[in-house]
Amino acid sequence: MKIIIFILFISVCLTSGVWADTLERVEAPVKGMVTMIDLGAKKCIPCKMMAPILEKLKKEYDGRAAIVFLDVWKDPAPAKKFGIKSIPTQIFFDKDGNEYYRHTGFFDEKSIVATLKKMGVE
């Protein structure tokens, strides 16, 4: 009985928005800006390996390109939206929001920078 009550409580909290603010809500791709979205999970090993790279690039490209991480284990909606089959997957979008390039698996810093340069981001 306690389990049923707990499940009902969780359901009410999730559907009423009590916990909705704890999930990161990011509009991606970012309008008017070259955007790289990394769809992964904070507990996935290759995703963990990419985390410091993404943080570094997010700072380096601030104002010139958006670097966005979306945890699809916490919120599976972006995985559906972008047709993700495995993680991590990186999707690059041009300033108009058109998909430019897609890569699946670990993506090193040098390759990310090269792709951004090909897109005209210095």
Say which residue, 69 or 25, is predicted with more confidence. 69
Could you tell me which CATH number the domain at 2-118 has? 3.40.30.10
Phi, psi of 78 (to 5 degrees): -60, -35
92 in Cβ contact with 101 (< 8 Å): yes
Closest CA to 68 of 46, 93, 48: 93
How much is the pLDDT for 26? Answer: 63
Active site residue 13: no
From the candidates 36, 37, 41, 47, give the one annotated as an active-site residue. 47
The whole model's pTM is what? 0.78
**Catalytic residue (choose from 26, 44, 51, 113):** 44
pLDDT at 27: 78
How far is residue 63 CA from its own chain's centroid?
18
Q: What is the mean pLDDT of residues 110-120?
A: 97
Domain ranges in the chain are: 2-118
Chain segment 6-63, per-residue pLDDT in tens: 443 444 344 333 333 334 456 789 999 999 999 999 999 999 999 999 999 999 999 9
| C-beta of residue 75 within 8 angstroms of C-beta of residue 39 | no
What pLDDT shows up at residue 52?
97
* Mean residue pLDDT across the chain: 84
Contact (Cβ atoms closer than 8 angstroms) between residue 122 and residue 34: no
Rounded mean pLDDT, 102-119: 98
pLDDT at 68 over 60: yes
Radius of gyration, CA atoms only, the chain: 17
Residue carrying structure tokens 């800006």: 33
Site of tokens 């979008």: 93
Q: Are the C-beta atoms of residues 115 and 105 closer than 8 Å to each other? A: no
Q: Clarify whether 44 is annotated catalytic.
A: yes
